[in-house]
Structure 1
Amino acid sequence: MSLTRRSILAAAAFTLASATAMTGAFAQPADMLELKLALGTADVNFNPTTASVYRLADTLGFYEKHGVKVEIVALDGTPQAVAALNSGAVDIADISIDAAVRLRAENDVAIKGFTSVALGNPFLIATKTDITSVEQLVGRSYAVADNGSLDYNLSRAVIDSFGVDIDGPDFVAIGAPDIRVQALAVGRVDATTVSFGTYQSIAGTEGVHILVDADEFAKRSPGQSKFVAALEPTLEGKREALQRFTNALADASRTMQQDPQIWIDAITAAREDLTPEAIKSTAEINVRRWCVNGCMNPESLDKTVAYAYSTADFAEVKEIPASDVYDASFAEKMMETLGKAEGNILDAR
């Protein structure tokens, strides 16, 4: 369900007033630059994680405030987003960092991430209740978006961390997170990896439980898994538009982090399938995860790339410097413009 007009306008009025107060005097650009952004279906449909900022920045007026018009193109998972980016169908795409490394290392694609909306993987492994250990996933059907998708790669990494053969589960590509979690709820598959927000839609369903919770999943996977990437010619040719986009996302993220009720109101209007209790608990998990400083800390990104190379899936991938796949200058300039956000946050700088 889309946000109602009344809820959008009410939230937007309050949000923009708050944002202006928090960022100080801000001269809105006179022109409006345009970008096409590829997102996975879950994020287009208002995923109840910090990735919801892509939609909120639009509906609450942050893109307009910063002078950028963003057309969101819905695609089914990282592989399709990468293909659209590589073909020129979109300017920017939210993709997994390991996908960017593969593109650069194996295909010499000049691609770099420049901003992000998520820090600390929000995923968990949900299964039928007869599966009580990761070892018991071997031979069971495991729903993923696609071969090579973010959830597929992270699931394999976490399973491997338990000492279980990464090819043990029977991975089945069935698409978006809401489809996967519903397939689990009705017994069509035995297990899947989804965000904690997506899982809330089936929480309490008989015969389903969480096998690996979000905290344990995060401990066993890289702290940062995705960023918004562009080809190098786009980074240079559309630099001003990308900077405005970066600023808008950070501005919106800071507003959600400082006043979670704005996010709660928006998600309540957009997701009737989630209970008030589920939304509140998800908001509490999100509060430290918002990318208030752009989530482009070189130390964190270097660790993510190093982690990718430590896994079995990267055994044959040519090693490249982590700095080949990211450009932190956009986040740095954003912090110069808006100031650095501080507090009890994962994206502290």
Structure 2
Amino acid sequence: MRIRKKRLLTGALLVALTATTVPACGTDAGTTSLPGGKLSFTVAVTEPDITAVPVLAAADAVRRQGHDVKIVELAEPELAIEGLAQGDYAISAEATGPALSAIDQGAPIKIIADVVANQWAVYGKPGTGSCTDLRGRPFGIFSEGAVATAMSKDWVRATCRGATPDYLTIGGSDVRAQALAAGEIDATPLEISDAVALESTGRADRVTKVADFAKTLPDVHPQTVYANADFLTEHREVSQAFVTALVREHARINASANHLVRLVHRYLPDEDPEDVPRIAARYRSRKLFDAAALTPHNVQRTIDFFARADVIDPGLKAKDAADLSFVREAAS
């Protein structure tokens, strides 16, 4: 299973965003009015994996209503944020950190729904009982700016009593999982798909779960859906249709893991057909898909986490970062 790399917004891109003059979304190249009151607009996704397929299904649902929804696949979430700020893209769904960074710098972007709840956990070699066992030990990370790195370091600061691991930049989640199973590192943050992949290769007995961020940071939402604020204002009906379709796709997944399997086969046909059902069942059993799960409380807790992690300055408020009226309408 391919794993996306969740990174935060770089300082250079923040400067570019704040220096950009943002055109009105209704008249820019990214959004075009069509006959009959229909609309042409673009949804940006970043290296889509299993968590993104409900977003792609929602785009198809809006297409069936007569709108022309283009999908552009990008290599980095920063590119989606830049496109949203410039009005080239209407909607995107990826790491929350880059969106909050841009919003904090004045970019016209609003968080409107959830992609997936916090699924990250720290896994360690057998015998690792707590983070104090990791003092000076090799701890694999994707990058210093990764969301999982921020959560891991927050956990270390809160619970390790000064016992700091030796952070090693290794690369993607799948690579780190293999390094952990091979004994090359002592711990690393992994997603559900990584754990399932280890199980499928018979190497699950070589790792143990040390910390579960779904339990320790349940109100932190690392992946969300966000949109150009002008698009939301000028095309509220279409924006609502997209969010409602996403909420319904998540409800179907929660009703049957086979729905998620079908979506993966449709939108990501190259994924391992043996791993997908197990991964889908794990997501469903943990109720991680709920696009309408965002509330002013957990949005603020997510903001506070990224401020604590020095990704954004303290003081950003949920009402300025998110427009939750769409998920409230969809849930009703």
- Determine if the TM-score, normalized by the shorter chain, exceeds 0.5: yes
| CA deviation after TM superposition for structure 1 residue 297, in Å | 2.0
The equivalent of 1:16 in structure 2 is: none
Please name the residue that 2:323 is paired with. Answer: 327
Q: Tell me how far apart the structure 2 counterparts of residues 206 and 259 of structure 1 sit (CA, whole Å).
A: 26
Q: Which of 20, 23, 37 matches 2:44?
A: 37
Give the gaps of 5 or more residues in structure 2: 3-35
Alignment of 1:1-349 (within 5 A): 31=38, 33-39=40-46, 41=47, 44=48, 46-47=49-50, 49=51, 51-57=52-58, 61-68=60-67, 69-76=69-76, 78-79=77-78, 81-86=80-85, 90-105=89-104, 107-119=105-117, 121-129=118-126, 131-165=128-162, 168-172=165-169, 174-175=171-172, 177-203=173-199, 204-205=202-203, 208-212=206-210, 216-225=212-221, 226-267=223-264, 270=269, 271-272=271-272, 274-275=274-275, 278-279=278-279, 281-286=281-286, 288-291=287-290, 294-309=292-307, 311=308, 313=310, 317-335=313-331, 340=332
Q: Is the 8 A contact 1:113 1:327 kept in 2?
A: yes
Matched residue pairs, number? 292
* Cα distance change on mapping 1:197 and 1:276 into 2, 3 Å: closer
CA deviations 1:68-105 (Å, max 9, x no partner) are: 524041324x5554455446564333244444333333
TM-aligned CA distance change 1:254 to 1:71, over 3 Å: same
Residues 166, 321 of structure 1: alpha-carbon distance in 2 compared, 3 angstrom cutoff: farther
Identity of aligned residues (%): 20
Deviation at 1:282, TM superposition (A): 0.9
Whole-Å separation in 1 of the counterparts to 2:278 and 2:63: 31
Give the distance between the partners of 1:253 and 1:70, measured in 2 at CA: 21
Q: Which whole-Å CA distance do the structure 1 matches of 2:300 and 2:190 have between them?
A: 25
Secondary structure at the counterpart of residue 198 of structure 2: coil
CA-CA distance at 1:171 after TM superposition: 4.0
Label 1:158 to 1:85 Cα distance change in 2 as closer, same or farther (>3 A): farther
Equivalents in 1 of 2:168, 2:224: separation in Å? 25
Report the 3-state secondary structure (helix = DSSP H, G, I; strand = E; otherwise coil) of the residue aligned with 2:42.
Answer: strand
| CA drift at 1:326 | 0.4
Once residues 81 and 192 of structure 1 are traced to their aligned partners in structure 2, the CA distance between those partners, rounded to angstroms, is: 27
Matches of 1:145 and 1:70 in 2, distance apart? 30
Q: Using the alignment, how far apart are the partners of 1:64 and 1:92 within structure 2?
A: 14
Contact 1:38 1:90 in 2 (8 A): no
Query: RMSD of the alignment, in Å?
Result: 3.5
2:288 counterpart letter in structure 1: R
Could you report, residue by residue, the CA deviation over 1:121-168 in whole angstroms, capped at 9, with x for unpaired residues? 111112333644312334334333333222222222223331355964
Does the 8 Å CA contact 1:157/1:166 hold for their aligned counterparts? no
Letter in 2 for 1:54: V
Scaled by the length of structure 2, the TM-score of the pair is 0.72
SS at match of 1:201: helix
* Cα deviations by residue, 1:193-236 (Å, 9 ceiling, x for unpaired): 122233201124167313335xx322221424132123433433
How far apart, in 2, do the equivalents of 1:70 and 1:238 lie? 16
> Residues 63 and 245 of structure 1 are in contact (CA less than 8 Å); yes or no, is this contact kept in structure 2?
yes
Question: What is the distance in 1 between the residues matched to 2:164 and 2:229?
Answer: 35
Aligned amino acid, residue 102 of structure 1: S
- Give CA-to-partner distance per residue, 1:281-319, whole Å, 9 cap, x none: 415424x33225x2332232223223444x3536x8241
Given the superposition, is the C-alpha separation of residues 147 and 234 from structure 1 closer, same or farther in structure 2, using an over 3 Å criterion?
A: farther
Matched residues in 1 for 2:57 and 2:290: separation?
A: 14
- Rate the CA distance shift 1:133–1:246 in 2: closer, same or farther, 3 A: same
Query: Aligned in 2, Cα 1:32/1:142: closer, same or farther, shift over 3 Å?
Result: farther
- The answer as to whether partners of 1:122 and 1:196 remain within 8 angstroms in 2 is yes
CA distance in 1, matches of 2:290, 2:204: 35
Counterpart residue type for residue 74 of structure 1: L
**Separation in structure 2 between the aligned mates of residue 283 and residue 318 of structure 1, nearest angstrom:** 32
Cα pair 1:66 1:245 within 8 Å, conserved: no
- Give the 3 Å change call, closer, same or farther, for CA 33–253 of structure 1 in structure 2: farther
Structure 1: stretches of 5+ with no match in the other structure: 3-28, 341-349
Residue 130 and residue 115 in structure 1: after superposition, are their counterparts in 2 closer, same or farther (change >3 A)?
Answer: same
The 3-state SS of whatever aligns with 1:289 is coil
